[in-house]
């Protein structure tokens, strides 16, 4: 497909990348993304048709919530047939949560949805934003035999393209803000962009694209730590309307074996609260039953999260609960890859 026939929609939701410094006050404020080509004139050289949509108001990533995700997927659906790919500009702090949620909410996706942002505003001299944006646009437009090279929800940051629901933000200081320790990069950008085709998901049958817009946020995260006491755990599991818990455990899924702790786990599960076991480590997997300290959890009905990230675990639970599935159906879906 000729470059002039390729169209990309850039959706600016907020975040550092879209900020410019006021020369008088020194403070940062968002610029008008309708004029993105003035800020990044290099984009003109692609020859693509580039259009932009800016959230109004723009949202700091610390304020992201399920209503935001629903708004975003609706924008993608409304414009799905008009564009070859989408680039979403987003604050880095919660980008992994959004990329995970959106991956679950987009049904039968066959086009690229590339999230990116920056650690420095795009208007600053040393910004990482320009390269991140330029390469994200190039990846979103990349095709072979008129088919997109990366028809997935991804995060592109500092020369690497990751599967969105496999990422975590691990660095607040340097440009390599994200990592995907349990799944290889889908592409690496150097002099050329090298795609790792064997790990990219390509739909085998083209089905009609659609979106899910129902999420249930009655979920919570309980991080286990040495010295955690019964009052904390009991209070946590008695949160009003709580339906599911991401239990962040030690190592390969281990937790205390004190009788009171297991008693609280058992009571929660009897109240139909779903408990999903994920590791506190950024790399590796939950292997329930490997040690006695995780075997007890397995016996009580805690579900293994295997190598899922906390961000993906939370959003997957919100998504599955929102579909009105019963607990057994939710457990089946938690034990398999659905995106």
Domains in the chain: boundaries: 3-211, 219-334
Using CB atoms within 10 A of its CB, is residue 46 exposed (0-12), middle (13-18) or buried (19+)? middle
Domain 219-334 annotated CATH 3.40.50.40: yes
Long-range contacts of 336-339 (CB under 8 A, 24+ apart): 338/104, 339/103, 339/104, 339/153, 339/165
- Tell me what pLDDT residue 35 has: 64
Selected from 3.40.50.1170, 3.50.50.60, 3.40.50.720, 1.20.120.1230, the CATH number assigned to the domain covering 3-211 reads: 3.40.50.1170
| pLDDT the model gives residue 31 | 66
What pLDDT is recorded for position 20?
A: 72
Whether 3-211 and 219-334 share one fold: the answer is yes
Note the pLDDT of residue 32: 67
Rounded CA-CA distance 210/215 in Å is 15
- Tens-level pLDDT at each residue, the chain (339 residues): 667 699 999 999 998 888 776 777 777 666 666 667 777 889 989 999 999 999 988 898 999 999 999 999 999 999 999 999 999 999 999 999 999 999 999 999 999 999 999 988 887 778 898 999 999 999 999 999 989 999 999 999 999 999 999 999 999 988 899 999 999 999 999 999 999 999 999 998 889 999 999 999 999 999 999 999 999 999 999 999 999 999 999 999 999 999 999 999 999 999 999 999 999 999 999 988 888 777 889 889 999 999 999 999 999 999 999 999 999 999 999 999 999
Distance CA 172, CA 164 (A): 18
Alpha-carbon dihedral of residues 246, 252, 253, 259, nearest 10 degrees? -160
Q: Catalytic residue positions?
A: 16
Q: What is the pTM of this model?
A: 0.94
pLDDT score of 2: 66
Burial of 167 (0-12, 13-18, 19+ CB in 10 A): buried
What's the Rg (C-alpha) of the chain? 21
DSSP state for residue 255 in the 8-state scheme: -
């Amino acid at each position: 497909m000729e470059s002039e026939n390729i169209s990309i929609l850039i959706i600016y939701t907020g975040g550092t990348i879209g900020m410019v410094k006021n020369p008088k006050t020194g403070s940062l404020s968002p610029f008008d993304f309708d004029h993105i080509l003035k800020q990044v004139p290099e984009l003109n050289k692609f020859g693509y048709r580039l259009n932009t949509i800016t959230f109004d108001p723009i949202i700091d990533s610390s304020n992201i919530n399920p209503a935001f995700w629903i708004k975003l997927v609706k924008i993608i659906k409304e414009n799905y047939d008009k564009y070859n790919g989408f680039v979403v500009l987003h604050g880095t702090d919660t980008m992994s949560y959004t990329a995970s949620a959106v991956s679950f909410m987009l049904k039968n996706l066959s086009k690229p949805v590339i999230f990116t942002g920056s650690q420095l505003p795009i208007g600053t001299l040393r910004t990482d934003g320009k390269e991140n944006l330029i390469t994200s646009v190039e990846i979103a437009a990349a095709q072979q035999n008129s088919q997109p090279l990366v028809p997935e929800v991804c995060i592109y940051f500092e020369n690497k393209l990751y599967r969105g629901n496999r990422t975590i933000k691990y660095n607040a200081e340097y440009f390599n803000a994200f990592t995907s320790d349990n799944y290889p990069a889908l592409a690496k950008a150097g002099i050329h962009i090298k795609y790792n085709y064997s790990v990219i998901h390509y739909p085998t049958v083209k089905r009609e694209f659609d979106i899910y817009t129902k999420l249930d946020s009655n979920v919570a995260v309980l991080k286990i730590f040495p010295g955690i006491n019964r009052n904390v755990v009991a209070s946590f599991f008695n949160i009003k309307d709580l339906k599911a818990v991401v239990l962040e455990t030690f190592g390969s899924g281990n937790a205390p074996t004190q009788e009171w702790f297991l008693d609280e786990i058992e009571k929660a599960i009897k109240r139909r609260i779903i408990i999903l076991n994920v590791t506190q480590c950024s790399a590796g997997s939950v292997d329930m039953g490997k040690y006695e300290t995780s075997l007890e959890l397995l016996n009580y009905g805690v579900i293994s999260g295997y190598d899922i990230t906390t961000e993906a675990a939370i959003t997957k639970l919100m998504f599955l609960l929102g579909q009105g599935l019963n607990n057994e159906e939710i457990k089946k879906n938690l034990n398999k890859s659905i995106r």
